[in-house]
Chain A
Amino acid sequence: MITDFFISFSTYVIIYIIIVSSFNISFGFTGLVNLGHMVFFGIGAYTSAILTLHGMPWYFALILAGLFTSLIGAAIAAITVRLKGDYFQIVTLGLVFIAIAISRNWISLTRGALGLPGIPPIIKDNFNYMLFTFLVCVICLAFFYWLTKSETGKIFQAIRDDETAASILGKNTYFYKVLSITISTFFAGIAGSLFVHFIKFVDPSIFDLDFFVIILTMLVAGGLASITGSIIGVVSLAITSEALRFVVVNPELIGPVRHMSLMLILILILIYRPRGILGKVNV
């Protein structure tokens, strides 16, 4: 029983690490506050679910979930990254509502609000699946560490600090911003695929904003522009969140108390430690 809980909890944490780190690439490293980041997690989940339900092997579905999600990410970025500051955030927030509307109403593809049940698992045994997600996570993190130290990663950070200065140094900032969103949404799609094959069900609630708020809090707590910070942010907040289960006696209150606590943590970090635990830039 305890082992099952630990395996399930660890699998969620591993998947959260991928999604939060990928969010850090666009938000923390490039300064693109993509409030619709979880939409791409949902697109990856739906893509992988639909493909495997139609008989495609999971390994193709996993890769295609990433590729298709990044294609959508690149197309949306190509249109939106020219928008500055708040306008970019408002448009990307709008993606959430578009995604909810499409997933609810494209019944022939998504079964609408009923969702898609019976999604085949990648590996039936949960412990082995946890090991598999861990392996994927290590590969993703290795790529993130390499990327952020590379010349491209430095250009992302230069754009975040001062886009005009980056452009007068001969950098095509539009291209690099689209590239940043493309990369971050690819890994969001991979995380979505891993998630959906674990819970074996997906419905439009995957696009809900409360999920995004959890991810955002984890990112901000760990700190922007630090992949290690993202790992620490996810692990510490996931443990805090689970610990509340033992503090709150009434089971009906666990959900709301969890959300309220995360919000409180987010507000306190923004006021007292805007760089989070290991962040390199202020929120």
Chain B
Amino acid sequence: MLSLKNVSKSFGGVKAVERCSFEVEECTITSLIGPNGAGKTTVFNITSGLTKPDSGTIKLLGKNITGMPAYKIAQSGISRTFQITKVFKNLTIRDNLLIAKRTNDTEMNRVLESVYLNKPLDTIASELSYGQQRLLELARALSMPHNLLLLDEPTAGVNPQIRQELKSILRNLRKEGKTILLIEHDMDFVMDISNTVIVLNEGRVLKTGKPKEIVKDKKVLEAYLGK
């Protein structure tokens, strides 16, 4: 589905991502983990076209999308959410979803239900709580036609109930055949739902494997999980 090959990006003298390569398989949930500053969000920004890589190749379904503008990558089938929620705060829930896809109220309510957000479509986004705004952002990302969903720390700042709901939402999406790449610090969450885990450290891929393999890996334990 998605492949990154030798992708590098520096900001000034800081190498945020260095010769990073990995693949994401179709109909799976893949988690990107690693310490703060490991380059996870930079990988997301490069993949979604918000940051141009210095070198390397990114392919989506075999098509080279390296360096394409963000809106074209989105049209190619990558949908994403952000670590700090980016809903359109002065617009209603309906308008937030309309920007993602022109559709009717019934369809919008169905998407909202699927993310457990039971609010009227005319609600202004800024009137929602932080956790609800995250759900709206997820609903918006789901509404946009896509092949791959990138979720940047979906559980950050949300209460345990929404966290549990997120787990079932993601599992349902996988059942529906969606492919998900997510950044997450909550290891229980990651181990519970991921098919594959990629560990990044100092901009490089330290280890790729199944959750059970990752938790036992010596290098990963030293760099991120702790002994």
Contacts and interface: CB of A to CB of B under 8 A. Distances in A.
Interface of A: 151, 154-155, 157-158, 160-162, 164-173, 225, 280-281
Nearest to B50: A164
Nearest to A167: B70
B37 interface: no
A281 B90 contact: yes
Contacts of A160: 90
Given A164-B86, A168-B48, A170-B144, A158 B71 contact: no
Nearest to A160: B90
Contacts of A172: 69, 71
B50 A165 contact: no
A160 B89 CA distance: 10
Nearest to A161: B88
B100 A161 contact: no
A166 B99 contact: yes
Contact of B90 (A168, A171, A225): A225
A151 B97 CA distance: 12
Given A154-B98, A161-B88, A167 B69 contact: yes
15 contacts: A151-B98, A155-B99, A162-B87, A162-B88, A162-B89, A164-B70, A164-B82, A167-B49, A167-B74, A168-B80, A169-B74, A169-B144, A172-B69, A172-B71, A281-B90
B227 interface: no
B64 interface: no
B4 to A, nearest CB: 18
Contact of A165 (B69, B87, B95, B98): B87
Contacts of B74: 167-170
Contact of B99 (A154, A164, A225, A281): A154
A225 B98 CA distance: 18
Interface of B: 48-50, 69-71, 74-75, 79-80, 82, 86-91, 95, 98-100, 102, 140, 144
Given A154-B98, A154-B99, A155-B99, A167 B71 contact: yes
Given A168-B79, A169-B71, A171-B71, 9 more contacts: A157-B88, A158-B99, A161-B89, A161-B91, A166-B99, A170-B144, A172-B69, A173-B71, A225-B90
A157 B96 CA distance: 10
A167 B100 CA distance: 10
Nearest to B74: A170
B80 to A, nearest CB: 6
Contact of B70 (A161, A168, A280, A281): A168
A168 B46 CA distance: 12
Contacts of A171: 71, 99
Contacts of A161: 87-91
A39 B48 CA distance: 38
A154 B90 contact: no
Contact of B71 (A154, A162, A170, A281): A170
A168 to B, nearest CB: 5
B86 A157 contact: no
A169 B100 contact: yes
B71 A157 contact: no
A154 B91 contact: yes
Given A154-B98, A171-B99, A280 B86 contact: no
B34 to A, nearest CB: 22
A276 B104 CA distance: 33
Contacts of A225: 90
Contacts of B75: 170
A230 B49 CA distance: 38
A262 B57 CA distance: 57
Nearest to B137: A165
A168 B50 contact: yes
Contacts of B88: 157-158, 161-162, 165-166
Contacts of B89: 161-162
Given A168-B48, A169-B140, A157 B102 contact: no
Contacts of A167: 49-50, 69-71, 74
A158 B95 CA distance: 9
Contacts of B98: 151, 154
Nearest to A175: B71
A280 B90 contact: yes
A154 B92 CA distance: 10
